[in-house]
Structures are given as C-alpha cells and as structure tokens.
Structure 1
Amino acid sequence: MQRLIRAGLMFGNLFHVSSPALVERYNRALKHLTGKTTKLTDFHVDISGYSPEVGDELDDHLYLNHAGVNRQFILLSMDQRRCPLLNTKFSTSRGILQQFYAENEAQLFALTARDAVAGELVNSVYDVSTPARLFDIRRITIDADTTGGTVRDAKKLGRLVGRFKNDQDGWFDDVLIAEMIDLAGKTGDVVRNPVKLSNMAFDQRDFWTAHFGGMYIFQDVEHPAVIAPSGKEGLGELPLKYVFDARDRNRIAQFFELNGLTETIIEARGINSAAILRQKMDFILVDAVANSQADLAGATRGDMRRLARQHSDKLPPEFHALAALVNWAENGGPWPRIASDHPAYFYTLRAADTKDAALVNMLLAELAAKDIRQLFICHKELFYRTYAGWSEAKKAYVVAFLEAEYQADKAGARAALFGHDAPMEEPKPAKPDPVSDRIAAVGPWGAVRRR
C-alpha cells in the first residue's frame, strides 16, 4: 500500500492536524463522543474527523463508527469538507456530510473558530446484526453541537430573550437577566448573530453498504431489488422479493433495463466510446499477462499490441468481445452480439442519467472489476482490497497509470468516462413529508429470458 500512499492514491487530501490548539479541540470532541483521547500531537483526518493514525493508536478503526452505523464526526475546520471519507460503510455518508457542511457553512465556520463541532449521522438502527435490519434505515438526520454546547446554549438563550421581551416584568427578573448574561458570555449575541444549525434529513432508500460482504439496495426504483455480488446465501429473509448475486448476470441486466439505469458506452453521447473501450482492453490485457513476467513499465499503445500478440493464448473472452466492438465502431465491422451472460457484457455499460447514477457505476465497477480505472474512481473500498492481491508488475502499472492519467485531471477523466454523471453524487435532502414510504416487495421478473 505504500506505493499508493506515495502516489497520493490512498490517504490523499486529508486534513493535517498539527497545532496544539487543534489537537486539544480534537481530544475534547473525541472524549465527548467516545470517552477516549489520543496522545498523538500530529495526525491526519478525513471529512468525518476519522484519523488512520489515531485508529492505529486506539487499535480501533471504527472508533467514530461503532458497529458500522450512526457514524459520528468531528469537524475542526471547514477545509475538511474537501477530504475523502475513509472506512466507508454506507455510500451515502460522505454526500450527507458535504451537504450538511455546505448548508451550514457560515455557522460552522464561526463555531470552529473557537471549538470543535461534534456530531452524529442518526437513524433508528443501532446495529445491523442481520441483513434485514438494513431496511429499517430509512431516514438519516444530523445531530451536532460544539463540545461546549454552544448551539444548545444559544437555543436556550433565545428562549430566555423571548421571555424577557414578552414578560412585562422581565426587566425586574434578576434571575432571568443573570442567566441571560451568563449564557451570552458563552454564545455571543444570538439576536444579531443567531447560532443555529439547519435541521436536515436525508432519505436513504438506494445505497451500497459494506456490511454482509457488500450489498446494493435499490428500493426507490420502479422494480426494486437487492444485489449482493459476493453471494446471497446466508442473507436470510429480506423485505424485497428479488435478491441477485454475481451469478445472476441475466437478472441483473434485466433489472438495469427495466429501471432504465444503464446505457451502452457505444450509444452514449459526448464521449469517445472507442477510446474508452480500448482502454478497458488494456486493463484486461494487463490482468491477463501480469503474472507472466511481462514488462509493463511505461507501456505504450504499440507495446500493448505487441503484448496482445505475444500472449494471445492468455487473452480472456472479454478482450476479444471488446475488440470486436471497437472494430464495429471504428471500421464498420460486423456487430458483435454480447449477451448478458457474456463476461464482457457489463464492461460495455455505464450508468444512465438518473438519480442513482453514482450507485449504478459503483455496482458496474464491481461487476467489471478488471477495469481498474472505474474501480478506483467508483469503488475505492473494493479497489484497495483487490489491489493487495495483485502481482507487483500489475501494482506498478496501475499506480503509474492512475497517477499519470487520473490524478492529473480528475474532473476531466470523470467527464470523459461518465459524461453526465458525477460518480460522487450526493443523496438529496428528504422532503418534509411525514408519511413514510412503503417498501415495494414485488417486481415484474418471473421467468427470466436469456438475452
């Protein structure tokens, strides 16, 4: 992993906590949330305030995310809003934090000037001991305050000011006035500068979770389903009728089509589809020859063609199918029939322009995991896990490619690959509708036809 860290591909863009004042504030917030403190005087934190160094020190990398639910956060500086979220357990968490920070930017900027803000992403579930419990997570709210309770005190002071103004004997109530003066010393003038954080709630209906081997839960689509690529055995009874794993390729493809969630790369507008497919072929080629002592360092397009010729016996069906598709696109060759049971099928797709585009691209990255660029962009948790098992030659090639081709222009690379889609699209705040949605438990599938 050191190669990834040196290239800025892992633990990159974290906020550096090095001043004694910030360390002291972090410890106050950490004590407030967890009862623990750190002895470190220099460490890095992500958007939620989680620090890999502190996790190592405490021997607990879930110290702000007990049991993987109701993630807590520590905000020391508004610069954290540009940081990644590490040890992600739910795909929606970073987007929720970003929106909360943006919505309350002025208030949080003022609060963090004097203290740390500590909070929690709250739902009604405190454990996910069974997969069915995931479906009880329906709405996420945010509870936050400074460690000194500035927001709480400001609310109380506001109520006291109201009493003072409306009570005709307020001027003569020495106890009331003394309490107001005491609170004002902590909060400042809440009349001219109100200290109030927006009450925000987020529906969590379509999401990925790292629990139980990784599950994609689609509830807010016309035809709901759960997709557990690593296997559906042992998940038990779930409130959705359709549960698929990586072996159910036809059914997953049909799920995508029925809900309008994907489009083919060839048909997508505004992208160089042939170039994207060629790059996918390169990644598949590298995967095939990485263990054959092939020299991948600084490989050019010509080098890739030479490697393909030399190791043609090792090339998998995905490579040949994409090559036929490129030949059709560039040279008018015959249209290749790539059915959903073909290993190359999911390499030919990208997410359509829907609210779930980021989640769909994340799922496609897992279903077509040899595309290391999409895997890194859309599913970093899986990328880091699979990277550990690669040969040294493949690790070196992948890091060099991502450093040169992605790190240099992240926004441009995402636009070229996904067009309309921003892979880190955030969940939308929940509508202020008190009526809870019913989980759909049926779908249209029945007998599944082969494509």
Structure 2
Amino acid sequence: MKHLIERGLMFGNLVPVRAPVLVERYNRALKHLTGKTTTLEDFHVDISGYSPEIGAELGDPLYLNHHGVNRQFILLTTEQKRAPLLEAQFSTCRGILRQFIERNEAQLFALTAKDAVAGELVNSVFRAETAADLLEIRRITVEADTTAGTVRTAERLGKLVDRFRREDGAWHDDVLIAEMIGLARETGDIIRNPVRLEAMTFEQENFWTARFGGLYVFRGVAEPAAIAAGGRTAIGSLPITKTLDLRDRTGLATFLQRNGLAEPIVKARGIDASGILRQKMDFVVAATAADRGEDLTGATRTDLRRLGRRHAENLPEEYKALAALLRWAEAGGPWPRIDSDHPAYFYTLRAANVPDADLVNRLLAELSPLDVRQLFICHKEGFYAAYAGWPEAKQRYVAEFLETEYQIDKAGTRGALFGHEPAMEEPQDTGPPAGAPEDLVRRVGPWGAVGRGR
C-alpha cells in the first residue's frame, strides 16, 4: 500500500494528535469507553477518533467498535469532521458522525477546548451473531458527553435553575443554592452559554455493512431486498422480501430498474458521458497491459491507446462493449446489445437521483471492479482489498492517476461523475432499432428508454 500512503490516498486527511494535553485527554476518553489506554505520544485519528497506530498497538482494529455494531467515538476537535472513517463496518456511520458534529459544532468547539467528548452510536443490537440480527438495526441514536460529564452536569444544573425560578421561597433554600453554585463551578454560566448537545436519532433503512462478507440492505424502496456480496449461503435466512447475491446479475438489474435506482450514463444530464466511457476503457486497457507485464509509469491516454492496439486480442468483453456504446453515443453506430448478463452491463450505469445514491454507486462499483476510479471513490474497502492483489505496475499507475486526476479536485470529479441536474422535459426516446428481439428489450431494463440524441 506504499504508493497509496505516500500520495495521501490511504490514511489521508487524518487528524494528528501530538500535543501532550490532547494525548492525555484522549487517554481519559479511551479509558472511559474501553478501559484501555495508549502509551503512544504521537498518533492520528479519523472522524470517530479511531487511530490506526493505536489499533496496531492494542492488536485490535475494532477497539472503538466492539463486535462491529456499536461505533464509539472520541472527539478532540471539530476538525475531525473532515477526516475519513477507517475500519468502517456500516456505510451510514461517517454520515451520522459528520451530521452530529456539524449540528452541534459550536457546543463541541467549546467542550473540546477543555476536555474530550466521548460517545457512541447506539442501536438495539449489541452483538450480531447472524446476518438477520443486522436487520434488527433500524434506528441509531447519538449519545455523547465529556469525560467529566459536563453535559450531564449542565442538564442537572438546568433542572435546578428551573426549580429555583419556579418555587416560592427558593431564595431562602440554602441547600439548593449551594448545589447550584457547586455545579456551576464545573459547567460555567449555562444561562449565557448553554451546555447542551442536540439529541439526534437516525433511521437506518438502507445501508451496507462489511459483516458476513458484505451485505447491502434496501428496505426503504418499493421492492425491498438484501444483496449478499459473499454469497447467499454466508447470510442465511433474512426477514426481508428478497435476497440476492452479486452473481445474480439479472436479478440485480431487475431490482435496480424496478426501484428506479440506476440510470444509463449516456442518458444522464449534466455529465460528459463520452469522457466517462473513454476513461472506463482506459482503466480496462491498463489492467490488461499490467497483467501482461507492461510498464505503465507515467502512461498517458495516447500510451494507453497504443497499448490497447498492442494487446487488442487480449482486451476483455467489457472494453469491446464500452467501445461499441461510445460509437453509438457519438457517431450513431449500431445499437449496443448490452443486456444484464453481459460483463459490461453495470459499467454503463450510475445511481439515479435518489436519496441513497451513494449506496447505489457503492453497489455498482462492486459490480464493475475494473473502473478503479469509481471503486476508490464509492467503495474504499473494496478498493483496498482489490489493490492488494494487483500487479505492481497497475498499483503504481492507479495511484498516480488518482493523485493527479482525483486528489486535486475531489468535489469537481464527484460532481462530474455522479452529480444530477434538475429534471428537464425529456426528448422523444427512440429506443432500440426496429426488429430488436422482445426478450432483449425486456432484459436490458433502463436501456429501453435511452435515445440516441446524446
């Protein structure tokens, strides 16, 4: 992984913890949550306060995520909101943590000026023995306080203040006044500077989890389903309408179509569809050339085109289908017959404009692993696992590409690939050419609505 780490593509944007006072606060919070401490004097943390160095020291990459279902967190600074989430077990956790920090940023800024804030993403499942247990997780509640219990103390003081204001003769209650003064020494003036963290609860209808070989759960759609990345036998029986696995390509295509979750790239508005297709083709060529021992150092698009010609007989079906689609989109070539059984089918799709577009793009990335850029952006865990098995030439090429083409403008790249423009009146669709077999039209799903105008 050295190429990724050197370029900030792995363990990038972590928050350094070097000041002795911050290390001491972290240890107090760590002891409070887990009963453990670190002897390290210098480490880095992610958005949840997880440190890969401490994970290695303790020999436990889940030291803040016991059994992988209740993520604990330690906040030393609100700057952690920009950090990634490492060792993610659920796709929803980073978004929840970021929303919690942003919603309570002023309060957290004040609290972390004096202490660490420790908390947990709480659900009703403490240990998932089976995949079915994971479907019991429907609601996540964020609970947090400083290690000194400042928020809890402030809440107690607030109740005493209300009592003081409400009760007759409270001015003469020396015990009440003394208790209020004692608590105020810990919290400060809660009237002028309230110490309160907004209670936040999140519904978890649709999510991905790394547990049980990887599992996608879609409950908040018209036709719910669970999709097992590691095969259906790994998850057993689930309390959901339908269970699929990644090998059931027709079933997945039907699921995406019926729930309106995906759209063809060439139909999407506001993107350079031809440019995206060309880049996908380049990635396929790079993988083919690297497998045959070619040096890809500094390879340009011209170099890849030359390598594509050299290894034309070895290029997989994905390349040929994407090339046909590009000809169809740009020059009015023959209708590209790419049905759900074709290995290129999911390379031609992206998430539709739906609330869970990130989750859909994660699924599509796993179904189109040769598109290394989408895999890196949408499914970091899958990318790192795949990267470890690539030839050195491909590892170096991909790391260089991501550094020069993605890192310099992450938001722009994401917008160009996955952004959605407001809906406009659709032109009349031409559909497939006359005479196309009826079963082909039925199986291609979204393709039946794609016109050739773009």
Unaligned runs of 5+ in 1: 422-448
Unaligned runs of 5+ in 2: 422-441, 445-454
Aligned counterparts, 1:30-49, within 5 A? 30-49=30-49
* Residue in structure 2 matched with residue 308 of structure 1 by the alignment: 308
Which residue identity lines up with residue 160 of structure 2 in the other structure?
L
* Residue in structure 1 matched with residue 216 of structure 2 by the alignment: 216
Which shows bigger deviation, 362-371 or 287-296?
A: 287-296
Aligned counterparts, 1:345-364, within 5 A? 345-364=345-364
Alpha-carbon distance in structure 1 between the residues aligned to 2:334 and 2:49: 54
CA contact (8 A) 1:286 1:394 kept: yes
Tell me, yes or no, if structure 1 residue 3 matches structure 2 residue 29: no
* Residue in structure 1 matched with residue 63 of structure 2 by the alignment: 63
CA contact (8 A) 2:269 2:420 kept: no
* Residue in structure 2 matched with residue 153 of structure 1 by the alignment: 153
2:135 alignment partner, SS class = helix
Which residue identity lines up with residue 222 of structure 2 in the other structure?
E
Q: CA deviation at 1:331?
A: 1.9
Which shows bigger deviation, 227-236 or 144-153?
A: 227-236
Alpha-carbon distance in structure 1 between the residues aligned to 2:166 and 2:323: 78
CA contact (8 A) 2:47 2:84 kept: yes
Q: CA deviation at 1:291?
A: 2.1
* Residue in structure 2 matched with residue 297 of structure 1 by the alignment: 297
2:291 alignment partner, SS class = coil
Tell me, yes or no, if structure 1 residue 87 matches structure 2 residue 82: no
Aligned counterparts, 1:221-370, within 5 A? 221-370=221-370
Q: CA deviation at 1:53?
A: 0.5
Alpha-carbon distance in structure 1 between the residues aligned to 2:296 and 2:410: 23
- For residues 51-77 of structure 1, what are the alpha-carbon distances to aligned partners after superposition, in whole Å with 9 as ceiling and x for unaligned? 001111111110100110110000000
Which shows bigger deviation, 44-53 or 240-249?
A: 240-249
* Residue in structure 1 matched with residue 116 of structure 2 by the alignment: 116
Which protein, 1 or 2, shows the higher relative CO under an 8 Å CA cutoff with sep ≥ 6? Answer: 1
CA contact (8 A) 2:213 2:234 kept: no
Alpha-carbon distance in structure 2 between the residues aligned to 1:89 and 1:325: 36
Which shows bigger deviation, 283-292 or 31-40?
A: 283-292
Q: CA deviation at 1:401?
A: 0.4
Alpha-carbon distance in structure 1 between the residues aligned to 2:73 and 2:134: 21
* Residue in structure 2 matched with residue 384 of structure 1 by the alignment: 384
Q: CA deviation at 1:450?
A: 4.5
Alpha-carbon distance in structure 2 between the residues aligned to 1:345 and 1:90: 27
- For residues 161-201 of structure 1, what are the alpha-carbon distances to aligned partners after superposition, in whole Å with 9 as ceiling and x for unaligned? 12222222222222211111110000011122111111110
Tell me, yes or no, if structure 1 residue 400 matches structure 2 residue 400: yes
Which residue identity lines up with residue 275 of structure 2 in the other structure?
A
2:232 alignment partner, SS class = coil
Alpha-carbon distance in structure 1 between the residues aligned to 2:5 and 2:351: 29
* Residue in structure 2 matched with residue 444 of structure 1 by the alignment: none
CA contact (8 A) 2:27 2:37 kept: yes
- For residues 374-428 of structure 1, what are the alpha-carbon distances to aligned partners after superposition, in whole Å with 9 as ceiling and x for unaligned? 000000011011110000000000000000100011111111111229xxxxxxx
Alpha-carbon distance in structure 2 between the residues aligned to 1:71 and 1:420: 32
* Residue in structure 1 matched with residue 126 of structure 2 by the alignment: 126
Which residue identity lines up with residue 373 of structure 2 in the other structure?
R
In the superposition, the TM-score normalised over structure 1's length comes to 0.93
1:216 alignment partner, SS class = strand
Alpha-carbon distance in structure 1 between the residues aligned to 2:198 and 2:217: 28
Alpha-carbon distance in structure 2 between the residues aligned to 1:246 and 1:272: 28
1:290 alignment partner, SS class = helix
CA contact (8 A) 1:350 1:364 kept: yes
Q: CA deviation at 1:295?
A: 2.1
CA contact (8 A) 1:215 1:228 kept: yes
Tell me, yes or no, if structure 1 residue 176 matches structure 2 residue 176: yes
Alpha-carbon distance in structure 2 between the residues aligned to 1:206 and 1:234: 20
1:217 alignment partner, SS class = strand
Which residue identity lines up with residue 95 of structure 1 in the other structure?
G
Which shows bigger deviation, 61-70 or 165-174?
A: 165-174
* Residue in structure 2 matched with residue 102 of structure 1 by the alignment: 102
- For residues 304-330 of structure 1, what are the alpha-carbon distances to aligned partners after superposition, in whole Å with 9 as ceiling and x for unaligned? 121111111211100000001111122
Moved over 3 A (4+): none
Provide the aligned C-alpha RMSD in A. Answer: 1.1
Alpha-carbon distance in structure 1 between the residues aligned to 2:86 and 2:420: 26
Which residue identity lines up with residue 114 of structure 2 in the other structure?
R
Which residue identity lines up with residue 315 of structure 1 in the other structure?
L
Which shows bigger deviation, 178-187 or 234-243?
A: 234-243
Which residue identity lines up with residue 216 of structure 1 in the other structure?
Y
CA contact (8 A) 1:229 1:367 kept: no
Alpha-carbon distance in structure 2 between the residues aligned to 1:350 and 1:234: 27
